Structures are given as C-alpha cells and as structure tokens.
Structure 1
Amino acid sequence: MKFSKICIISVCLSTLLCFLGCGSIEPSHEYGVYIGANPEDLEDRDLPSTIVIDAQYYSSEEISSLQVDGHIVYTYLNIGSIENFRDYYSDYEDITLGTYENWEDEQWVDASQAKWQEFISAKADELMDKGVDGFFVDNCDVYYQYPTEEIFSGVSNILEDLKDKGGYVLINGGDSYVTEYYNRYYSLDAILDGVNQESVYTCIDWDNDSFGVNSDEDREYFSDYLNMVLDDNKDAYVLEYTNDSEVEEEAYNYASKMGYIPYISHSLELK
C-alpha cells in the first residue's frame, strides 16, 4: 500500500481508540469489508450486498448462510506477505524478504518462489470449496517493495491462476503492479475483475495513529489509478477510514461522483 505522510489530521489518538470497539459505520451502500470479524460478529448485522471476510475462519455452512441471506461473499487472500499468527508461517519464513512497515507481525514474501505460488493456489482451492464467490487479493504491493521481473512474473502467475478458478478477483491496492501490467498488455482481463483502493479521499497518519483527509496530490494519484481500471471496464472500489461525519459524507460524495463503490470504516480492525 502506498500512503503519503501528508494529510490533514482530523482525529487524535485518544479519539481513535474510543472508536476501535465501534467497528464500522452501519452500511447504507452495497459493499463492506469485514476481514477482522468472526462469524459471531456479523450476526444480526445489517450487512450490504457484497461483503469481504476472511473465510479461513468461517465454515462452509456459515458462508452459505450469508449467501442465503442475499450476500455475495469474497474472501481475503494475502498473496504478497505473511502474518506470523498464521499456522503456516514457519513453512514459508525462509522465503520472506523483510518486515512490512507499520505491521511488525508481517513479512513480505518472495512471490516468485514456486512453493509459495503452489501454496496460494491450494489455499484458494480450499476457500473456493467453502463456497466463496471470489477473492479480495491483498499485497500485490510486494512488487512496489521489490520491483524485479521475478516478482512481477510471480504475482502475475498467482493472479492468472486465481482468475482461472472462476471466482471474482478483486485486488486491494497494487497500483504499481497493476499499472505495470496494463502498460505491458493493455488489458487487465487475465488478472482481475476489480480493484479496491484504500485511502483515496481519506488518509492514515501512521506516525500519529490518526485518520485525516488526503492531500490533493495523493487523491489525484489514486483517482487516476482507479480511472484507468474503470476505463478497462473493471470495477473500482474504495475503502476509506474516518470517524468524522463530515469527512464521511465528503468521501461518499466523492466516490459517487467518480463512479467508485465505497465503504467507510471507523477502524483499521475492519470488524
């Protein structure tokens, strides 16, 4: 993910912490991201039509129940890094590349390695067998961190394999990789159906643990990226973070004007 340190701070740390337990704004739109939520967290919630969960922690019955209630269910899938709480972390620690900035429990992974590509493919099959409708693919940004031809090819192999499985492929972020792919091949058909971009209108100030409003420069950069995706007839989603009701309204209005599908969360926990 590419976040600028330049933003207008709207929420101090103490205010942010007060809202961590509040989760996300109750949805009035068609999209929501709940990758930090357990099945019980979503019970009796007024969920939008399309939701993103971490299906590794859901049973096939729980996923089916969400679909029976009318929801399209995508699952989180991390293809470019690995968290140390995953039970398979030790199997791939030897191909990690470095610590993920601002997330000390996470390491970038060498996506060019065959054993990692095989693992992701098998994990995706396992999740598809649970009945999910597609993938919310995180950390294609490994190519931004390590911009080599080997990493580019590795990420491409993984995404093409995911597309071949028949589910919807929604990439989170990935601007450097996706732009490079488009510049080479003039089409994104082989690797994705849509892109979700975090912090287009809003921003995260990691140094001060607070949310704010993005700079015009960064907003224009990410908007240009999403407009490229839209021009290729793919879907564009945005995930914004704020506790400020005025900023929330501004972010929704901006997304609507630009043709993006928005979700706004009060918390990085995404519950």
Structure 2
Amino acid sequence: MLGFEVLANIDHKPNVFFCYGKLNPLEIRGFDYVILESKHFNASDIKKVKKLNGKVLAYISLGEVNSQSKYYNKLKDITLGRNENWDSYYLDLKSDSTVQVLFSEIDRILADGYDGLFLDNIDNFTTFGFQKDQKSEIVGFIERLKVKYPEHFILQNAGIELVADTHKFVDGMVVESVASDYTFSDNKYKLRDEKAYDDYIKKLNQLRRKYKFPIILVEYADSAELYNEILTRIGKTNFLYFIGTIDLQGYPEFAK
C-alpha cells in the first residue's frame, strides 16, 4: 500500500481499510475488511476490490444524511437538525418515509456486489446522542435489515450502549478513537489519557468475549510519531485496526 510507505518503524500494515474518497480499485489490496463510500465505485470496481481483499462493505449512515448525498433531497424536509461538524442532517427513523428511502438506497448499494454494510452514526441513538429517543427504532431497523439480508455482513459503528440489543443482528463492531483522541473543537490529534485507554480496552475485551464477534479499532493520527504511538498501544491487543486522518478520504500518509 503506497499510503503506508511513508511511516517510520512500522512492521506491518493495518488489516482494515476505510476510505470515503475515490481510489483506483486495483490499488486496494490485502485487507481483511474494506469499507468504501459506494458513490465512488461501480459494480465492476467492487468486483475488482473483492478479488484482492476479504470482505468489502459499503458505508451508509443510519443516523445522518450528508448534504452532498444523492438521496439528500428525498429526506431534507423530514430531517431533525444539522450536524455542524460534517454538514449533515439528523435522520428521523420514526418517519416511514425516512425508513423507505434508506432501504431503497441499501437495496441499490448491495446490488453492486458488496459483501455487506458498515452502519455509521449508531451512537446518535444512545443516551447522549441527538436521536436518543429513537433507540427502539434503530434496533428495529437493524433487525429488519438482517432479516432482509441474512447472508450479508453487517458492521455496526459505535453505539456500545445498544450492543445488548443489536448483537443478534450484526456481525461485528467498529469503535473509533480508543487509543487516540481527536477533538473537533480544536482539530487536534492526540493520544487518549492512558487510564481512560486501559479502561476502554478492558470494556471492549469484555464485549468481544461475550458476543464473540470481531471488533475493529479506528484511530486518527496526523503524524508518523502519533501513528507509531497509537500502534504501540493497540498492537498488543489483538484487535483489528485502521489508523487514518479524520476525513478518511484516501490513503493515510503521515510526515516523518
């Protein structure tokens, strides 16, 4: 992978690759899991990526819709408010129209040959999330999704609080910023406090043992130094992982 060659003191590359930008599909190779933004790839592209990797999953948010999304216009009049960090709008899963649009989009995406889906913004539906009053709706949506696509791999992003209810319907989980701690308020990349990190890893190990599904760590860095500090932490945990920049738009490259 070209994007990882600039890193110092890296003995191995990540086993997971996240990218929400457009790339040459033939340059994505050797990963256990690949998560892509479907608008940048057609069915032919996905076939190529699948030949070179393990599971290839398509990104979709169940909590928000970006203003640049092709289905934004179908939802813009029934959203609940704006997320200033990402120029996206909160979805109302209590609305039958919202659910219908999401399932139509999922049907279209999976028709291109993806092995499954990466479900983003699930933490929006937890205690401190914007849609905390829609817990039953998100759990019901994921259950319905698994019933409709039982053979597809469903990867849940965040929402640890909901795993007791969703674990029957998902095949794995992503947790962001476990070893690292990016903050939007000041756009700073840094390490998480060591005790907080240790507590977090302990909790994730408990979840992994209890539910027996893969947990993927997604960490954020802006330098080779921070990358290596993160890797020193998580390399001992045996979790699958990916380390990139916060926008996830391409191959992560870090200055030495």
TM-score normalised by the chain length of structure 1: 0.78
Give SS of 1:229's match: helix
TM-superposed CA distance for 1:130, in Å, is 0.7
What's 1:78 paired with?
Answer: 61
Residue in structure 2 matching 1:227, options 187, 200, 205:
205
Residues 140-191 of structure 1, C-alpha deviation per residue, up to 9 Å, x if partnerless?
122122322xx1121112211222202111111223333xxx1xx5x712x2
Q: SS of 2:69's equivalent?
A: coil
Distance in 2 between the 1:208 and 1:47 partners?
A: 35
| Cα distance in 1 for residues equivalent to 2:143 and 2:196 | 29
> What is the CA distance between 1:216 and its match in structure 2?
3.6
Give CA deviations for 1:106-161 in whole Å, capped at 9, x if unaligned.
1111122222222222222222211101111101122122322xx11211122112
Q: Deviations over 1:171-214 (max 9, x none)?
A: 11223333xxx1xx5x712x211111111111112222221111
Please say which of residues 251-260 and 192-201 is displaced more in the overlay: 251-260
1:259–1:71 Cα change, 3 Å: closer
Structure number with higher strand proportion: 1
Q: Equivalent residue for 2:52?
A: 69
What fraction of aligned residue pairs are identical, expressed as a percent?
A: 19
Q: Residue type matched to 1:230 in 2?
A: R
Q: Which has the higher contact order (CA 8 A, sep 6+)?
A: 1
TM-score by length of 2: 0.83
1:113 aligns with 2:113: no
Helix, strand or coil: the match of 2:242? strand
Which structure 2 residue ranges, 5 or more long, are not aligned? 6-11, 251-256
5+ long unaligned stretches in structure 1:
1-22
Are 1:24 and 1:267, in contact at CA under 8 Å, matched by a contact in 2?
A: no
Aligned partner of 1:202 in structure 2 is 180
The CA RMSD measured in Å over matched residues stands at 2.3
- Once residues 79 and 39 of structure 2 are traced to their aligned partners in structure 1, the CA distance between those partners, rounded to angstroms, is 21
- State the SS of the aligned residue for 1:234: coil
Is contact 1:163-1:192 (8 Å) kept?
A: yes
2:141 corresponds, among 148, 158, 166, to 158
**How many residues align structurally?**
237
Report if the CA contact (8 A) 2:59-2:120 is conserved: yes
Find runs of 4+ consecutive structure 1 residues off by over 3 angstroms. Answer: 23-27, 42-47
Shift of 1:101: 4.2
Counterpart in 1 of 2:22?
Answer: 38
| Equivalent AA in structure 1 for residue 70 of structure 2 | D
CA contact (8 A) 2:28 2:49 kept: no
Tell me the CA shift for residue 247 of structure 1: 2.9
Q: Evaluate the alpha carbon distance shift between residue 161 and residue 25 of structure 1 in structure 2; reply closer, same or farther with a 3 A threshold.
A: farther
> What displacement does 1:215 show?
2.3
Deviation digits for residues 204-241 of structure 1 (CA, Å, limit 9, x no counterpart): 12222221111245434543552343021011101111
